[in-house]
A and B are shown apart, each in its own frame.
Chain A
Amino acid sequence: MIPISYFLVLSILLFILGVAAFFIKRDLITMFMAVEVMLSAANLAFIALAKAANSIDGQIIVFFIITVAAAEATVGLAIILLVFRHKKSIKSEDIKLMKG
């Protein structure tokens, strides 16, 4: 039987790696992928705690998180494409103005 704490430590590690990737990388698409990594780390914590509590509610929450992540990905990628169309670049430091 694998202890729940192993999964929680892995979840913390993944979340931190996602945060670090978000700050280190400079292209918008990879920064967006880092956000997905953070969401998945949260999913892992939810499922581990659902098993600890012997309840299925945690899995339902993960179901909703996956749906929200899909919606977020479509809108976010559409915005990235718009930015690329205007600026011809997807570097994060090229986007400094709110209106441009």
Chain B
Amino acid sequence: MGIFIFFILAILCVGSVLGMIISKNQAHNALFLILAFASLGGLFGLLDAPFIAVVQIIIYAGAIMVLFLFVIMMVNVREGIPPEKKKWTLYLSLGLAVVLVIELIFAFKGAFSLTGGAMEKSGPTDLGRVLFTEYLYPFEITSVLIIAALVGAIVLIKRRKEEE
């Protein structure tokens, strides 16, 4: 049963990323990406990470993609942008992608033989306990990062007086 769900979610995920590559419309791209992130959330659930699965769906598929859709709405480019005319960039990028696949497979070779049992502690309670004890400093630094990003985005996007 688990393997059946895995293959459905994996095909959905890869298929929607391929759809994102093929489709020209930016709004469709964003919707494809929401589907990909939602199925990734399901995969996280299969890997004994229920809290991360929910966070993935709420933050990624919800909040971040709504931000993308808002920007697409504000930019509003009506006709789609056709793919690259120059052929050599396409061939170069495909060649580099193949090299990267081989490199990644070599890097992961040792990990392919790993087998995972059921995780003993993976609920939100355990996650919170580790997050607020062992990883307290990274957690606080992350909050500073978010404040910096918020202020940075507002300062960047604000119209200055002389531009008006």
A residues near B (Cβ < 8 Å) are 1-8, 10, 12-21, 23-27, 29-30, 32-34, 36-37, 40, 43-45, 47-52, 54, 56-57, 59-60, 62-64, 66-75, 77-82, 84, 90-91
- Majority-rule SS of B interface residues: helix
Residues in B with CB closer than 8 Å to A5 are 111-114
Residue in B closest to A73 when the chains form the complex, CB atoms = B64
Q: How many A-B residue pairs have CB under 8 A?
A: 217
Residues in B with CB closer than 8 Å to A63 are 52, 55, 127, 131
Tell me, in angstroms, the Cα distance from A75 to B14 when the chains sit together: 27
The answer to whether A33 touches B127 (Cβ under 8 A) is no
Residues in A with CB closer than 8 Å to B51 are 59
User: Which one of A47, A68, A77 lies within 8 Å of B67 (CB-CB)?
Assistant: A77
Residue in B closest to A40 when the chains form the complex, CB atoms = B40
* Contacts A20-B21, A27-B26, A84-B75 supplied; 9 other A-B pairs, CB < 8 Å: A2-B46, A7-B47, A23-B96, A24-B83, A44-B40, A50-B47, A63-B55, A64-B138, A72-B149
